[in-house]
A and B are shown apart, each in its own frame.
Chain A
């Protein structure tokens, strides 16, 4: 009997030791992989993987939301597709990773996603302290307020004592606190995790006001049963330059995303559209900048580590900046945003790309 028990004991201990070993080596492997991912260039990783991991919202109509066929559509989604087309030659080679206001930065910092295109405001602390690189601005936005029309409010300064629904994890709650403090009026914040829940609370009357970026308000209102029963107040209380971002420290990858965005903007400025891009990139034309952009002249693509036709692929994917805007959030869509600040600099807007040379 004694011997038998001894053997049993030994076996149990061995199992325990084996288990500890496997856990240990498992942890070792995972940790090793993580270090590897951080060390190699993101562009090489994306090419090796054959897929771009792009962080988007969990669903904001017009900016990023799956359509009836489960295909992601929207203004931010188009940026992801353009980058995938430029880097991999295939606009469909994108894995969309839905992120909330809370999870987005961790997802990017940990390497789970290669780039984040999730109407994210470019701020000092996010750029400097959180170590991200904003590659540009694809939408100039500002925080606004939406209220039911029946309240008869015409200015945000009349909102003293109101209950305000906010989507948490955004710059919005800080702007809100600043706005009410500087106007010396009171409010009661109701922090809500996602846009969908905030919408529900607002419609049920649990809050008087819903605040987020003006573009988000327009997108949210477009989804209401009766959009005309709600008004967006004229005050824009903050500057919200929204743009795609990547991790600090991988400038090659940052350049690819930055210049893909610039290519879309330049294409609109130069009149290159999804319909004529094929024809224009077939052979060199009269305009040297278009030639450089589309790779029929010079070696810009090679400098980026991409094919010569990178920009033409990006433009083919969803059209130039103006086309993307019009198709997803422009005046012809239910969201109905006018170009405003987001017009080309030649039309009095702020959209401006550095030259391709």
Chain B
């Protein structure tokens, strides 16, 4: 027979910090932490001492001074007399724009290529494998340069569209494709255009409401309502009706070949740097996403597909309703890091002259003011904030598709 007795209560001795496995790990962690703090502290004080020795000081006052340079693509009002801070904001918006566009397009490319790579058609699956391997294994900087160089070399200059009797005519009288970018029509908002927009927004809400209703009917009565053509009708018809009833309030501002001797004037322009960067980032990252998607789909057990077929679901419904929802659980986490990669890789923009945050704040502003440390700190802060925000948002989405354990 054994008796259970409490071990004798030892009083804590200092030597136990090293000899007792219960405390030892904490001891070493504490020592490491102290050393780390000292190292960072020393490097910081060294930096400050060296700056002082050179008579320089850290400060962010330069941000309120006039920037003095122009930026070709700006989403907000900006002139060369605006402050460096505003130039930085223009850069931030440009970074966010290209990152958002590239994330969307990379997802489209990636999902398409990932699904097609599993196709039973030999040619298609091999083509997709080729795409993935080519684009994944060549650095994105090289892709950006290749795409931009091809664009500028192959497309005609804007001058070929200019004049009374141009070499090339606008496509449909609306679009011009040049090596400086794509020119297209811009809307002119007349009186009453607000009503048209309101109707358009309302019809989008209507589409969602209808789809919800169709789902409700399906789950409650098993009757399947059509969703394809009603969606299309709801999207187009009310808006077109409103447009004509209000007396065509929205006009088009077309690119004008006669206004200027160098460039097309008027309309909207999407610059060649943006297009090259957007396309290069999407097609490069799309190759990685394709592999994630493929892995995700293959991670869903084959039994699921077979069970769905046994229930009589057609192959595309099996994919959409059974396989993809389960595959998403595997796809989303690596997808987050691909989105972060796109955002960070967008800092290569300067090679094609796209004015992102690295080009404005980290490039021209840094140069003109010589405030290298301050500018780089701000850049780090910006990319860190953006990356963490993207992670946070994507994690919320991931939690919504993750396996619910009850």
Using CB atoms and an 8 Å cutoff, list the residues of chain A in contact with chain B.
6, 9-10, 13-14, 16-17, 20-21, 23-24, 27-28, 31, 34-35, 38-39, 101-102, 105-106, 109, 125-126, 129-131, 151, 159-163, 168-170, 173-174, 176-178, 180-181, 187-193, 197, 200-201, 204-208, 247-249
Assess the A206–B260 pair: CB atoms within 8 A: no
Return the CB mask of B15-27 against A: 1 if under 8 Å, else 0: 0000001001100
Chain A residues within an 8 Å CB radius of B36? 20
Chain B residues within an 8 Å CB radius of A105? 367, 370, 372
Across the two chains, which residue of chain B brings its CB closest to A39?
B53
Closest chain-A Cβ to B59's Cβ sits at a distance in Å of 11
Assess the B28–A13 pair: CB atoms within 8 A: yes
With A24-B39, A187-B70 already in contact, the answer to whether A35 and B46 are too (CB < 8 A) is: yes
A27 and B35 alpha carbons, distance in the complex (Å): 12
Assess the A163–B55 pair: CB atoms within 8 A: no
Instruction: Tell me the residues in window 15-56 of chain B with beta carbons closer than 8 Å to chain A beta carbons.
Output: 21, 24-25, 28, 31-32, 35-36, 38-39, 42-43, 46, 49-50, 53-56
Chain B residues within an 8 Å CB radius of A130? 370
Instruction: Tell me the residues in window 35-92 of chain B with beta carbons closer than 8 Å to chain A beta carbons.
Output: 35-36, 38-39, 42-43, 46, 49-50, 53-56, 68-72, 79-81
Chain B residues within an 8 Å CB radius of A102? 363, 366-367
Chain A residues within an 8 Å CB radius of B55? 131, 248-249
Closest chain-B Cβ to A249's Cβ sits at a distance in Å of 7
Could you say which of B72, B81, B152, B260 contacts A205, with CB atoms under 8 Å apart?
B152
Cross-chain pair count, CB within 8 angstroms: 148
Assess the A206–B46 pair: CB atoms within 8 A: no
Could you say which of B56, B80, B355, B369 contacts A181, with CB atoms under 8 Å apart?
B80
Assess the B72–A161 pair: CB atoms within 8 A: no
With A102-B367, A162-B262 already in contact, the answer to whether A197 and B351 are too (CB < 8 A) is: yes
Could you say which of A101, A159, A189 contacts B367, with CB atoms under 8 Å apart?
A101
Assess the B370–A126 pair: CB atoms within 8 A: yes
Assess the A204–B80 pair: CB atoms within 8 A: no
Q: 25 A-B contacts, Cβ less than 8 Å apart? A: A10-B24, A17-B32, A27-B43, A31-B42, A31-B46, A35-B50, A38-B53, A105-B367, A130-B370, A161-B259, A161-B260, A168-B350, A168-B364, A168-B367, A173-B68, A173-B69, A173-B364, A174-B80, A176-B70, A188-B72, A191-B72, A191-B359, A192-B353, A206-B157, A206-B179
Could you say which of A151, A191, A205 contacts B179, with CB atoms under 8 Å apart?
A205
> Top 5 A-B pairs ranked by shortest CB distance?
A177-B80, A205-B157, A161-B260, A13-B28, A130-B370
Across the two chains, which residue of chain B brings its CB closest to A187?
B70
Closest chain-B Cβ to A333's Cβ sits at a distance in Å of 30
Query: A10-B24, A170-B367, A206-B180 are known contacts; what are 11 more A-B pairs with Cβ within 8 Å?
Result: A6-B21, A17-B32, A27-B43, A35-B49, A39-B53, A125-B370, A191-B72, A192-B353, A200-B149, A201-B353, A249-B55
With A13-B28, A129-B370, A131-B54 already in contact, the answer to whether A162 and B49 are too (CB < 8 A) is: no
A189 and B69 alpha carbons, distance in the complex (Å): 9
Chain A residues within an 8 Å CB radius of B261? 151, 161
Chain B residues within an 8 Å CB radius of A206? 152, 157, 179-180, 272
Indicate whether B263 reaches chain A with its CB closer than 8 angstroms. yes
A163 and B55 alpha carbons, distance in the complex (Å): 40
A200 and B36 alpha carbons, distance in the complex (Å): 48
Assess the A13–B54 pair: CB atoms within 8 A: no
